[in-house]
Amino acid sequence: MQFGIFTIGDIAPDPVTGRTQSEADRISELVRIARRADELGLDVFALGEHHNPPFVPSSPPALLGHIAAATRDIVLSTAVTLITTNDPVKIAEDFAMVQHLAGGRLDLMLGRGNTVPVYPWFGKDIREGVALALENYDLLHRLWREDVVDWEGRFRTPLQGFTSTPRPLDDVPPFVWHGAIRTPEIAEQAAYYGNGYFANHILAPNFHFTPLVDLYRKRFEHHGHGTADQAIVGLGGHAFIARRSQDAYTAFRPYFENHAMFRGTRLEDYANRTPLSVGSPQEIIDKTLTFQEGFGDYQRQLWVLDSLAVPIESVLEQIELLATEVVPVLRREMRARSAPGAPEAPTHASLVRARYGDAEPRRPRPNANRGDNLTGASPYQDSEPAAPARYPAA
């Protein structure tokens, strides 16, 4: 079971001080948050992608590449990468690069996002959102698994004899999670490829996303990747943690109840009817254990701790409480409650082991005819021609 944090990198006025952060301050804070999570032994740091104020993470590969150099153990991820409006060729190359920089500590969460205007900003039609998600991931999947790709689709120019570079580290692509909160087609897509499925699990009533998770599990089994219980599921969550419950509600109330999204909503009422977890470490533990009861055994739990202008000092204190008092208990309790044979979340090391065992990873064979644009030279021209590598979906 992996535990960690995810962030959307939002900026908002602090209702206590009246101060609004600069973009530079917020970006620096995201790096501090990731480093602290790594130092304290959390498993995952995930970063959203947005191209509009009040959010700053418009370039997750750049920021995650920097964080990779500033951390040692934590897995880096996205929450989410926009598979609809990003070119899949650019996704393949950018995140393969970050995978190398991070020494394999990278996976990818894909989604359609929640910002309507982003489609025309990138020359896309929102009415084609689902079709774009399906086609673009099909191409991304192939770009990471085939050394040479010939491809033609509806939404971008064809590819002929194309090799994306760099090739994935150890010839093993980053593990992919498909994030969706309303779209059965995305749950089906995750199941078809044997990938993970991530339910955001915020801003909705408790267990609102159970039908989509159940659909994904059933279709995962239908497509022959294992039993429904072996499907790879991740959940989000939103939390505010303090040593005492009263202190958590007192500290978080002005940030929650004065935010434009929640104005007019009483914090206690919202926490009771949604996955929002507010209170002492034990209360966060108790609430999270209900997620396992409602969704079954799952492999990744992430929380948002830094949204709504919560000060960085408070965020860092919460990360420490999460890592030292919440997660150790959850690891023990959730392991004890898990069914025998429940899978772990895939990592780069486990995927390399599953594909190659103790053997050396295969060396990619890019297109020998695609050399340097100026000289035409290619280090592969003396190699024997090889058929494109094609791997199972997992």
Over the stretch 255-293, which tens digit does the pLDDT of each residue have? Answer: 999 999 999 999 999 999 999 999 999 999 999 999 999
Q: Rounded to the nearest 10 degrees, what angle do helices 129-145 and 184-193 cross at? A: 10
| pLDDT on residue 368 | 72
Range 301-308 average pLDDT: 98
Confidence check: pLDDT of 359 > 90 = yes
| pLDDT on residue 375 | 63
Range 168-188 average pLDDT: 95
Tracing tokens 């153990």 back to the chain, one arrives at: 73
| pLDDT on residue 393 | 47
| pLDDT on residue 385 | 47
Confidence check: pLDDT of 377 > 90 = no
Q: How far is CA 65 from the centre of its chain?
A: 15
Helix (H, G, I), strand (E, B) or coil at 80: coil
| pLDDT on residue 365 | 85
Residues 68-79: tens digit of each pLDDT: 999 999 999 999
Mean of pLDDT over the chain: 94
- Please, what is the end-to-end C-alpha distance for the chain in angstroms? 19
Q: What percent of the chain has pLDDT over 90?
A: 90
Range 121-134 average pLDDT: 96
Q: What is the distance between the alpha carbons of residues 248 and 242, in angstroms, rounded to a whole number?
A: 5
Residues 39-61: tens digit of each pLDDT: 999 999 999 999 999 999 999 99
| pLDDT on residue 114 | 78
Domains of the chain, residue spans: 2-356
| pLDDT on residue 386 | 46
Where do the H-state alpha helices sit in the chain?
A: 23-39, 60-70, 88-101, 118-121, 129-145, 184-193, 210-222, 245-257, 267-273, 281-295, 312-321, 327-337, 348-356
Q: What is the DSSP string of 336-391?
A: HHSPTTPPPPP-HHHHHHHHHTTSPPPPP---TT---TTT---TTTTSPP-PPP--
| pLDDT on residue 254 | 98
- The reply to whether CATH 3.90.1580.10 applies to domain 2-356 is no
Tell which residue, 13, 8, 86, 98, has the closest CA to residue 49: 8
165 backbone φψ class: left, alpha, beta (φ>0; ψ -120 to 50)? beta
Confidence check: pLDDT of 160 > 80 = yes
Other CB atoms within 10 Å distance of the CB of residue 268:
11
Are the CB atoms for 235 and 202 separated by under 8 Å? no
Q: CA of 165: how far to CAs of 91, 104, 375, 385, 393, in Å?
A: 11, 16, 18, 18, 20
Of 107-121, 151-165, 366-380, which one has max mean pLDDT? Answer: 151-165
Residues 190-233: tens digit of each pLDDT: 999 999 999 999 999 999 999 999 999 999 999 999 999 999 99
Query: Which of the four pLDDT bands, split at 50, 70 and 90, describes residue 181?
Result: confident
Query: Which of the four pLDDT bands, split at 50, 70 and 90, describes residue 392?
Result: very low
Tell which residue, 171, 238, 243, 249, has the closest CA to residue 204: 238
pTM above threshold 0.85:
yes
Other CB atoms within 10 Å distance of the CB of residue 318:
25
Q: Show the tokens assigned to 341.
A: 């044979």
Confidence check: pLDDT of 144 > 70 = yes
Range 355-368 average pLDDT: 89
Are the CB atoms for 125 and 119 separated by under 8 Å? yes
| pLDDT on residue 373 | 57
Range 181-189 average pLDDT: 94
Q: What is the distance between the alpha carbons of residues 92 and 136, in angstroms, rounded to a whole number?
A: 11
